[in-house]
Structures are given as structure tokens and as C-alpha cells.
Amino acid sequence: MSGQLVEQLEFDFSFGCPCIDAEYYRDGAQDLIRKIVPIELLGPSTEHPASQRTRFADMLPFVRASDLGKAPCSLSVLLLCRYRLNACNFFCDMISKWLLPRRQVNVELFFSSDVRLPHLSDDLLSVAEVVVYLKSASEVEEARRNLQTVETEIRLGVVSNYHARRILEFKGLSSDGKTAMIQEKISSLIQNHSKDFDQGIFSQMQQFLVNCPDEFKKARDYHHMSRMISNRHSVRRLLQQTIALLPEKRHVILKFMKTRIAQKGEQKPVLGILAGLNFLREHERFEEEHLVAAIRQLLPSSRLVPGSCIADPIRENAFKTTYLEMEKEDKSDFLLQEIQVLKNGLESVLKEHIEQLTHPIYMPRNEEEVLRNIVTLSNQIRSAKDPAQVILSFDETRGSELYFTVILLRICRDKELSVQELFSRSKTELKYIPDRIRKITSFRHKYIKEAIVFRTFISSQLFLRTDHSVDLYKARTFLFDKLCGIIGPLRDYNGGMILKQNEQLDALKSALGKVADTHSILVEKFFHAIAPIEMRTSCAVEPLKQLFLLLLGTIKKETPRLPFAGSDCFSKQESDRVLAVTQRTKTKLKAIDALQIAVHQLVTISLDLEQGSFLALLLLSSEKALQTSLLTALRTS
């Protein structure tokens, strides 16, 4: 049939919206349909009407492009498909953004309309045309290479909303497009899971979309971000419920989400971790660095993905949620065993990384005590062979620095460098802040004792524990070692017992192995709560290890269940000792005191933890009657 007959061909036609009937709209839509639908389907046919309709349905959707000429030229792409919400927008986006993916193409014309062809289909149809301008020969050649692929993707996308999403995700959907898809996904969650999700999820979605940087959205698909929003909503609801039930307990809820993100043109595997917890005290703090430190304690080979942290902007309702992503240093995928390690251990480790903010302490130095310490150290030097004596006293914190007062007593020999000169020559990072220098007395009329008082400081960042508290024991040991390297051999007058305790603590940690790494803060609290104090250096490591494991097992049994049922006592009786862990009450303490057990036979450890108040006991006696009396007192009091 000639082109003139095609233009004059009449066929059944109407707009999808009855109120539209402008002549120029009608002519435009009919002209597009004549160009894209085969003549034998539009005009009179020898086929049976039912066969004609079946053939038309099988051919949908129609996508047709005009011939490409020499540059510069225009390219027209036509579409006719069954109506689907936003199908024409998808069609226009595909042509304008992905026909020339690395260039900005100029759209000269975009026309779309919903129409009906009653003699061919009962469905509402959409017809559209996009005309783009190609300026150069390179643009024409690139369009020729990409056109067939783009047409195939258009045919898939206009038929299926799912395929349209996946195509745009693969090509890199804009932030606005992903936002629309997230909103649609969240809406469907409420419709399909009304019991699990309420209208409050919309405000959380809005908060996420507002606070989330565009770079974050570009690197992640809409499906994963929708999971983030829905999981965050679920975690917050569950936290509110558990806090209402047990407000005095620490609650931690974790969600793990494997995904891939697009960075530098490649997809890399990451593990998304969503953590929600409640605060028990006013000045507790939990930020991105705390969560990362807890994760790396269990998986040292992991590291934070830069820019992946999304946290609640403010602390509200005494709880907080934080989301971040971790990647492997070798860029490999996370194994199921590694994720299981996090599921089993991260909750308890995370509790130890919650920071407690405290006010700086101001305490003026007691000058009388300084003079008394100088006299004490002077009495320790009785011969020329005695080493120099030193007392280290912690003064204060200033920002991130720990200040100490150092009292040094030594024999002043001829041509010996001053302490200030020794500091200058050592090229140490320690600063010498002079206070005073005193000559004490002559020694056998040959040597003079010299007392030097000065201050110095070190960075607290080197001695932060997992909960961001400062380990002054380690800081003091570090400072003493530094001073020995600068001044020479020193005797730590007030550090002998501290040294022995640190050695015993290290031995206990070594005996516990990985358990100590996972529960480092609890181990230190346990050790420094040992009473009487002398038992911290004299008690054997093995019974302390067994007692700690019994305490740890008791804590896990009590969480998140209800506290001790009054007289509950977890114990272990052996031939030469008894280990027991129970709830600490005044009644139990009185019952133990009434037994009048010798100090060197009974080790007591009293701990106030988030799970409750615990009393751990170690009876070092093989006397069966005494063992029975202690267990009876614990169970009946």
C-alpha cells in the first residue's frame, strides 16, 4: 500500500482520557500509530477479527526507530505498548540517557498519550515518540551501536515493572529514580505486611532519604536501601518493646545484610551491619568508631567502607540505631562462618565498647605529700650502689593528655648530666616540665642526694580500653619504661605491687585465651575486684580462670531471662576448693561473714554489671565441712 494510502487510512481510535479531544493531539497520536503498526493490522484484512487481535497482542510492544543518516541528524524512536504506570517515562529515560551513555543528548521532542484501538485490543495502550539530535559522526556511530540493545531493554522494561527497575539499577539509576522506587517498595510493605509495619515507617524513610548522601544512594541498589529502612523500623519497634519490659537491662539488636556496592566502576562485596541498643546512663556514648572497633575485635581482617555509616542524627528515647558496612581487606566476600562469628559474639563485645563520658577531675596537688615522698625516697638510698628512686603520681587530664608528677631521688655525681639535659639529648616525645630541684644531704661527705620534681604528659589515645576508658596502669607502666630509657635504671617505689598485679592479670588473660579477647573489660573488672587485695598477686591462675568461666556462664544464663530466683547459686565443688557465683545480697554477705573463714582461704569478687549484682567466691580449702557450710549458706540465705 502506498505512503499516501497509509496517511489516508482510517481506523478505530480514541484517547484513554475522554476529556482530551483536541484535533492536533488526535492527529499526532494517529500519525504515530500509522507509522509503527503494520498496515495489514490497521486496514481491512482478510483475517478473522479474532486472529487479527491475537496477532496484534503477540506483537506488542512495538518499538521502531527511524533510519540514521549523516551527521548532524535527528533520530526518532516510536513506542506502542500496553499501558503501565510510568512506562513512557522509562522509555524517554532510556533514549535520552542511555543511547549515548557518556554524553548529554538533546531531546528535541517527546510526545506520549494513552489511547484505545477497540478493533485490535480491549487494553488501554500507550503511544510515545522521542526525537533526539545527534551533532557529530561519532554520536551517530555510537547511537547505531547502542540502538539495538536499548530497543531490547525498552521492550522488557515497558512490559514489566520488575525488569524496568533491574535495567535502571544495572545502568545506574539516578538518586531521584531510586527514591521513587524506595517509596514504592515501602508502600508495598505496609500493604502486604500491615502487622509488621505501620505508618511510622514513612517518617523513618523520609529521615533516611534526607540524611543519606547522594553518593551513598548511587553506590547501592534501591532493594538494599529498602531493606535498611524496613530493618531499622523493625529494630526500633523491638527496642521500644524490650525497654518497656526490662528498662534496667542493656538490650542489643543486630541485623546483618550482605550486599554489593558500586565503586570505581566495579561491584564489591560488603557486609551491612545494623546495630540498635539502649542507654542505661545519661552520659553514655556509642558512635561509629565504637561499632567498628567491636567488629574488628572479632574480625581483624575487616575494615569500614568509607562513607557507609548512617546513624540516628540525635539520641532519642534512650536508644540509638547505627548502620555501617564492612569490607574485607583482600576485597573477598564474607564467609558464612565469619558472619556466624559476628552473630555469636558481637552482642557481648559491643556492650563493652559503650563509652561512659566523665567530667574532668580537678584536685590541687598536696605539697605536704610531695615533701613527705621526697623524705621517704631519700631514706631508700643508703649506699652509692643503690639505684635512683622514683614515685609516679597521676595528676589530671587535659583534653587527650594524661599529666603525671614525677619525684626522682638520685645521688648527684660529678660531671653528671642534669635530668633536663638527659631529656634534651634523648629526642623523646616526653616533655620535661620542671618544678623544683633540692639537695638533700651529704652521703659520707662524698655524695649529695638530689631530689628532682617535674611534670610530664603522654597521650591517652595509646591506653584506651574497648569502652574508651583510660587504662592508667598501662599508662603508668609505659611512662616508667620511658623514664628508664632516658635517665637510666630506676626503682619504682610505689609500683612494685602494681607490677606484680599486671603480671598476674596478663597470666590470667593468657590462660583464658580467646575468651579474654572477647570479654577484655569483664576480665579486668573481675581481676581488680578480687578481695583481699593480696590475693591478686598470690592466688594461683587456674582457680581464678575457672571462677571467671563460671561467672561468664552465669551471666549468659541470666540474660535476657529474669534475674536470679532468690536463692539460686551456681557452684562447682572440687577436692581442694569450691567455686560459686550467686546474686549479691546483704543477707548472703552476712551469712558468709558468720562462717568466719580465714582471709587467706576465701577470695570474694563483687561485681555490679548490666545484668545485675554478682558475687563470685573461691574457697581454697579441702575441708569438706567448711565447703558444705559455705554452699549451704549461699543456697539458704
Question: Is 147 in the same domain as 108?
Answer: yes
Question: Is 87 in the same domain as 210?
Answer: no
The residue among 139, 170, 201 that closes a domain is 170
| Between residues 272 and 210, the one the model is more confident about | 272
Residue of 353, 390, 380, 363 whose CA lies nearest to 477: 390
Q: What is the pLDDT of residue 2?
A: 44
Residue 597 lies in a domain: yes
| Between residues 189 and 305, the one the model is more confident about | 305
Instruction: Using the predicted structure, report yes or no on whether residue 162 has a pLDDT greater than 70.
Output: yes
Instruction: Using the predicted structure, report yes or no on whether residue 565 has a pLDDT greater than 50.
Output: no
Cα–Cα distance between 79 and 81 in angstroms, integer?
7
Q: What is the pLDDT of residue 65?
A: 92
573 strand-pairing partners: 578
Instruction: Using the predicted structure, report yes or no on whether residue 76 has a pLDDT greater than 90.
Output: yes
Q: Is the C-alpha dihedral spanning 461, 466, 472, 473 positive or negative?
A: negative
Q: CA torsion, points 128, 134, 138, 142, in degrees to nearest 10?
A: 0
Residue 265 lies in a domain: yes
* Count of all residues that appear for the chain in the document: 637
Question: Is 631 in the same domain as 532?
Answer: yes
What average pLDDT does range 583-604 have in this prediction?
88
Which of these ranges, 264-268, 371-375, 526-530, has the smallest mean pLDDT?
Answer: 264-268
Which of these ranges, 79-88, 433-442, 550-559, has the smallest mean pLDDT?
Answer: 550-559
Question: Is 166 in the same domain as 230?
Answer: no
| Between residues 316 and 522, the one the model is more confident about | 522
399: left (phi over 0), alpha (psi -120 to 50) or beta: left
Q: State the pLDDT confidence band at 177, using cuts at 50, 70 and 90.
A: low
Is 465:524 a contact under the CB 8 Å cutoff?
Answer: yes
Residue of 469, 468, 477 whose CA lies nearest to 506: 477
Which of these ranges, 12-21, 424-433, 515-524, has the smallest mean pLDDT?
Answer: 12-21
What average pLDDT does range 275-292 have in this prediction?
88
Q: What is the pLDDT of residue 554?
A: 86
The residue among 433, 465, 494 that closes a domain is 494
Task: Give the count of domains, the chain.
Answer: 4
- Which percentage of the chain shows pLDDT scores above 90? 26
Question: Is 45 in the same domain as 117?
Answer: yes
Question: Is 342 in the same domain as 442?
Answer: no
> What grid cell was written down for 356?
561512659
Burial readout 84-112 (b: 16 or more C-beta within 10 A, e: otherwise): beebbebbbbbbbbbbbeeeebeeeebbb
Q: What is the pLDDT of residue 19?
A: 61
pLDDT tens digits for range 129-139: 999 999 888 88
What average pLDDT does range 312-338 have in this prediction?
85
Q: What is the pLDDT of residue 8?
A: 53
What average pLDDT does range 69-77 have in this prediction?
89
- Which residues fall within 8 angstroms of residue 487, CB to CB, at 6 or more apart? 388, 408, 410, 419, 422
Q: What is the pLDDT of residue 581?
A: 92
Question: Is 484 in the same domain as 572?
Answer: no
pLDDT tens digits for range 460-485: 888 887 777 888 888 998 999 999 99
Residue 587 lies in a domain: yes
Question: Is 612 in the same domain as 529?
Answer: yes
Q: What is the pLDDT of residue 28?
A: 80
Q: Which helix (H) or strand (E) holds 565?
A: none
Instruction: Using the predicted structure, report yes or no on whether residue 14 has a pLDDT greater than 80.
Output: no
Q: What is the pLDDT of residue 22?
A: 63
**DSSP helix/strand/coil, 298:** helix
3-state helix, strand, coil in the chain (%, to 5): 45, 25, 30
What average pLDDT does range 507-518 have in this prediction?
88
Residue 506 lies in a domain: no
The residue among 310, 326, 356 that closes a domain is 356
Q: What is the pLDDT of residue 24?
A: 67
What is the value of pTM for the model shown?
0.56
Instruction: Using the predicted structure, report yes or no on whether residue 324 has a pLDDT greater than 80.
Output: yes
Q: What average pLDDT does the chain have?
A: 84
Question: Is 217 in the same domain as 323?
Answer: yes
Question: Is 281 in the same domain as 163?
Answer: no
Instruction: Using the predicted structure, report yes or no on whether residue 107 has a pLDDT greater than 50.
Output: yes
Residue 419 lies in a domain: yes
Q: What is the pLDDT of residue 503?
A: 82
* CA 49 to each of CA 1, 55, 125, 356, 435: distance values in angstroms, whole numbers, following the listed order: 20, 10, 19, 80, 108
Q: What is the pLDDT of residue 537?
A: 85
Residue 500 lies in a domain: no
Q: What is the pLDDT of residue 404?
A: 93
Question: Is 523 in the same domain as 427?
Answer: no
Q: What is the pLDDT of residue 442?
A: 64
Domain span holding position 149: 3-170
601: left (phi over 0), alpha (psi -120 to 50) or beta: alpha
Residue 507 lies in a domain: no
Q: State the pLDDT confidence band at 487, using cuts at 50, 70 and 90.
A: very high
Residue 361 lies in a domain: no
Fill in the DSSP letter of residue 316: B
- Which percentage of the chain shows pLDDT scores above 70? 88
Question: Is 402 in the same domain as 520?
Answer: no
Cα–Cα distance between 47 and 45 in angstroms, integer?
5
